[in-house]
Structure 1
Amino acid sequence: MNGEIVVGMEKEEILKMMEEGAVKVGTRELPYVISKGMNGATTVSSTLRIAELVGIKVVATGGIGGVHRNNKDISQDLIELSRNRKILVSSGVKSILDVEATFELLETLEIVAVGYKTDEFPIFYSRKSGMRLNMTVEAPSEIVDIFEEMSEMRMGSSLLVLNPIDEEYEIPKEEVERILEKIEKELLEKRIRGKEVTPYMLKRLFQESKGRTLEANLKLLSDNVLLASEIAKELSKRNHS
């Protein structure tokens, strides 16, 4: 905020930033935004980088970025996940992405991805993607077990914990896909590219779903924060035992 990294913003600071506006900041943009004294809203990549600077090991988010559909845009999130050893809890990748390509790239980059009480790769609003996970866990203690082994092996990548959205708030994959097909045509017609793609798609998803995507987003984020807190508690308990 105003060129300073703030970990744990107060309500007043959040409201102030909402009024003033902020630029989207990945790891690459951090030095520029800080040096210019600007307001910045962090992505997963820059959040992980800041977590590394201050010693935070467990991070929660809604969904990670990845490979975009029909173009070569690849999120910085995946690069940061591949070189920063953290535990990241998310509900999979954002539905607006090329899910299969992102799934494959996670493996290529040696990012350990485990399903929490699921054996299927979740895609944000939807619990099922059709892609199976070969690593699953049932409790926070198992997640910490894996993370400790990664540390012992000096692996530099993160542990991605995939926590599917609650069934009550799920929007079926098929329904999301129908909406996305319509939005993709709009992107081509309006020539929207780069960092403008995600905000536009999320806005149109909200409109086309009559607000259901926002409700789902808030629910899955809340659940991911809760799970991340349980993992952090278990990790802290072991470090002080």
Structure 2
Amino acid sequence: MIELTFSAETRAALTEGRPLVALESTIITHGMPWPRNADVARTVEQDIRDAGATPATIAVLDGRLHVGLEPEQITTLAQARDVAKLSRADLAACMATGGTGATTVAATMIAARAAGIAVFATGGIGGVHKGAESSFDISADLQELAQTPVTVVAAGAKAILDLPKTLEVLETLGVPVIAYGQDEFPAFWSAKSSLKAPLRMDDPDTIARAHLLRRDLGLPGGQLVANPVPEADEIPAEALAPVIEAAQAEADRRGITGKAVTPFLLQRIFEETGGRSLETNIALVRNNARLAARIARALAKQDF
């Protein structure tokens, strides 16, 4: 078994059987500049505490896989440079070489499972990139959802992706996609995508029950809970569509491919929306954290 390093808060919650919610760390290292990144990380953790659960931000520091970060570690990570972005393929390699890395959705799910944490809150999952029929660019997040038993709360998949194809792949992989409180699949910055969600659930207790029943049936993988961004914070899909289309066209003209595509598109969208996309991103992460805490509490209540 891998040796995990727990923060004092996380270790106490595990020992006492209190509900926990995993958090990724790429939002700290790759999502926004210092000191906003540290402030947002602390705010999201506090949202989880206020909702009755314990946050566990996950990262690799000097080769050790940390489940829960101490306040000073968040500050250090938020100011660090050249931090690796870790997914399934490079998590073990970073640890073996004594590196420091921030976990993506896939890597956070792996660490959460190892720590016995069943619920994870993030912003949006990766998925099928536009043009994947020729580039084969499909996020490892989808395969991770198919094999790692963690319920992931996200505002859908990132809207820069091919959402219909992302839903098709999730269906093929047998991943339950549950829209929370609505029939449409949300589109990250936008509450609606015009795509019907495969499933709908309206309360955390039902989502928790579904998680436990999957375990009892011996089904592999987790659940994707697609939680729409609050209406007051969203950017309507019709307003974003031309911005995303223009950013994608620019990336194509400049020959930007692979891992460079997503950060380029997000930066261009940030610029074209006057920074509004970042504020919406923060709002939806906080919204997801609060729902994830409620699901974690429901799991703790039902799983006895």
Structure 1 length as normaliser, TM-score? 0.96
CA distance in 1, matches of 2:256, 2:71: 33
Residues in 2 aligned to 1:191 and 1:209: alpha-carbon distance in whole angstroms: 23
Correspondence for 1:117:
181
Preserved CA contact (<8 Å) 2:209 2:299: no
Q: What amino acid does structure 1 have at the position aligned with 2:119?
A: V
Q: Is the 8 A contact 1:112 1:157 kept in 2?
A: no
Query: In structure 2, what residue type is equivalent to 1:156?
Result: P
Residue 29, structure 1, aligned to residue 29, structure 2:
no
Structure 2 residue ranges without an equivalent (≥5):
1-60
Q: Does 2:246 correspond to 1:185?
A: no
Q: Percent identity between the aligned chains?
A: 38
User: 1:57 Cα shift?
Assistant: 0.5
TM-score (norm 2): 0.77
- Structure 2 residue identity aligned to 1:189: R
Paired residues of 2:212 and 2:303 also in contact (CA < 8 A): no
SS at match of 1:5: strand
Inter-partner Cα distance in structure 2 for 1:201 and 1:8 = 30
Query: Which deviations, in whole Å up to 9, do the C-alpha atoms of 1:127-178 show, x marking residues without a partner?
Result: 1111112421111111112112211211102111111000011111122111
Do structure 1's residue 20 and structure 2's residue 80 form an aligned pair?
yes
Output the CA distance in 2 between the equivalents of 1:223 and 1:237: 22
**Equivalent residue for 2:131?**
70
Using the TM superposition, give the Cα deviation of residue 204 of structure 1 relative to its aligned residue in structure 2, in angstroms: 1.3
- Report the Cα distance in structure 2 between the residues aligned to 1:167 and 1:58, rounded to whole angstroms: 24
Compare 177-186 and 6-15 and name the one that shifted more. 6-15
1:91 to 155, 159, 165: 155
Equivalent residues in 2 for 1:115-154 (5 A)? 115-154=179-218
Q: Work out the number of aligned pairs and report it.
A: 240
Q: Which residue is 1:10 aligned to?
A: 70
Structure 2 counterpart SS, 1:41: strand
Residues 147 and 220 of structure 2 are in contact (CA less than 8 Å); yes or no, is this contact kept in structure 1?
Answer: yes
In structure 2, what is the equivalent of residue 228 of structure 1? 292
Query: Deviation per CA, 1:7-56, whole angstroms, max 9, x where unpaired?
Result: 11223222222322211110111011111222211110000001111111
Instruction: Name the SS of the counterpart of 1:171 in structure 2.
Output: coil
Kindly state the Cα deviation for residue 231 of structure 1 after the two structures are TM-superposed.
0.7
- Tell me, yes or no, if structure 1 residue 44 matches structure 2 residue 108: no
Deviating beyond 4 angstroms after TM superposition, the runs of 4 or more aligned structure 1 residues are none
Q: What are the superposed Cα offsets for residues 61-103 of structure 1, whole Å, 9 maximum, x if unpaired?
A: 1100000112320000001100011111111000110111001
Q: 2: distance between equivalents of 1:95 and 1:208? A: 15
Give the conservation status (yes or no) of the 8 Å contact 1:90–1:163: yes
Shift of 1:110: 0.2
Q: Which has more strand, going by share of residues?
A: 2
Structure 2 CA distance for aligned equivalents of residues 9 and 193 of structure 1: 33
CA distance in 1, matches of 2:62, 2:267: 26
Q: Which amino acid aligns with 1:184?
A: Q
Partner of residue 219, structure 1 = 283
| Cα-Cα RMSD | 1.2
**Counterpart of 1:239?**
303
Inter-partner Cα distance in structure 1 for 2:250 and 2:64: 37
Query: Which amino acid in 2 is paired with 1:229?
Result: A
Q: 3-state DSSP class of the match of 1:192?
A: coil
Cα distance between partner residues in 2 of 1:174 and 1:48: 32
Structure 1: 5+ residue runs without aligned partners? none
Deviation at 1:211, TM superposition (A): 0.8
